[in-house]
Amino acid sequence: MPIIELLAPARDIAVAKTAIQCGADAIYLGAPQFSAREAAGNTIDDIRQVVEYAHPYYVKIYVALNTLLFDRELSVAEKMIQDLYAAGVDGVIIQDMGLLELDLPPIPLIASTQAHNATPEKVKFLEAVGFSR
């Protein structure tokens, strides 16, 4: 039986710390760009600080990069995912399947709810192409 994970949204560093102190098992934040939570204004350094605070408490940090991208934006997104991996995030929440064509680091991929995971066939496809959930 899978273990249930209490995943909390966090707008910024302060909210992330509060969620951790209140017992969240995992936090998700918006990426600096290409996120439905982009208005939060998180930088890679902000996310790194959250990771450094969270990991001693065994709290996982996921970053949402969950909007559709134009072809011209893919190289920027690829670099951002590499930077997020270097910052120690535990996974990236994505919507755009075009990201699968990029040279990504070995970071867990999580299908955004915006990826329309509504059928067993779609879930099987996502598993087959490397999504962990």
Domain assignment present for 41: yes
Domain range for residue 81? Answer: 7-128
**CA–CA dist 100, 68 (Å, integer):** 13
User: Positive or negative, the Cα torsion across 111, 117, 119, 121?
Assistant: negative
Domain assignment present for 2: no
If phi > 0 it is left, if psi is from -120 to 50 it is alpha, else beta; for residue 130 that is left
The total of structural domains in the chain comes to 1
Domain assignment present for 87: yes
List, for residues 21-71, the tens digit of each pLDDT value: 999 999 999 999 998 876 778 999 999 999 999 999 999 999 999 999 999
**CA–CA dist 3, 1 (Å, integer):** 7
**CA–CA dist 20, 27 (Å, integer):** 8
Domain assignment present for 1: no
pLDDT at 92: 97
23-59 per-residue burial string, b: 16 or more CB within 10 A, e: under 16 = ebbbbbbbbbebbbbbebebebebbbbbbebbeeeeb
pTM over 0.85: yes
Domain assignment present for 84: yes
Q: How confident is the model at residue 5 (pLDDT cuts 50, 70, 90)?
A: very high
CA angle 70, 93, 83 (to 5 degrees): 75
Domain assignment present for 60: yes
- At 78 the three-state DSSP class reads helix
List, for residues 78-129, the tens digit of each pLDDT value: 999 999 999 999 999 999 999 999 999 999 999 998 887 888 898 888 888 8
List, for residues 104-114, the tens digit of each pLDDT value: 999 999 999 88
CATH number of the domain where residue 123 is located: 3.20.20.70
Domain assignment present for 133: no
pLDDT at 132: 81
Domain assignment present for 69: yes
Kindly give, in sequence order, each residue whose CB lies less than 8 Å from that of residue 5, ignoring residues fewer than 6 positions away.
Answer: 25, 26, 60
- Selection from 23, 20, 26, 30 nearest residue 5 by Cα: 26
